[in-house]
Amino acid sequence: MTIVRAAEAPQFTPQEGFTITALTAPSRGANETCTWRLRVDPGARSGPHTLDRDETFVVITGALRVTPDGDLVEAGGAVTVPAGAPIAVGNPAAEPAEAVVAIRAGFSATMADGTAVGTPPWAV
């Protein structure tokens, strides 16, 4: 068993308005799953991309739009984006939003322009 304490969890800011707190991943004792806490500032939106695995977002506070032109998912709700479907996480609200994200370990990301990203550092 591996415990990741909040004070020891690495943080990443992949772009302005996004903070990722890495929880579980192969480098932190989880061989098959990755999880992280995602904070999205008001008005922030990620670039469109796809993943080669299903990705699940459980919204804890606020509300997020996870796919381009998708429905708003409010606190207490969850959405799974199937592998290969476009993802563009955004927070159109006036307050920050937080979610816990889960995906199978070893996933790979590709930007909409075809640029291969691979596995981001919070998930290795």
> What CATH number corresponds to the domain at position 21?
2.60.120.10
**Encoded amino acid at 7, one letter:** A
**DSSP element (H, E) containing 52:** none
Domain assignment of residue 121, yes or no: no
- pTM: predicted TM-score of the whole model, two decimal places: 0.95
Domain assignment of residue 82, yes or no: yes
Domain assignment of residue 83, yes or no: yes
Domain assignment of residue 6, yes or no: no
Q: How confident is the model at residue 18 (pLDDT cuts 50, 70, 90)?
A: very high
Q: HSE-up of 31 (CA within 13 Å, CB side)?
A: 1
Domain assignment of residue 88, yes or no: yes
Counting the structural domains of the chain, the total is 1
**The two three-digit tokens of residue 79, written as one number:** 């959405």
Rounded CA separation 42/39 (Å): 10
43-57 pLDDT, tens digit per residue, is 999 999 999 999 999
Domain assignment of residue 116, yes or no: no
What residues form DSSP beta bridges with 98?
A: 39, 61
DSSP per residue over 14-27, as a string? SSTTEEEEEEESGG
Domain assignment of residue 3, yes or no: no
Which residue range forms the structural domain that includes residue 106? 11-111
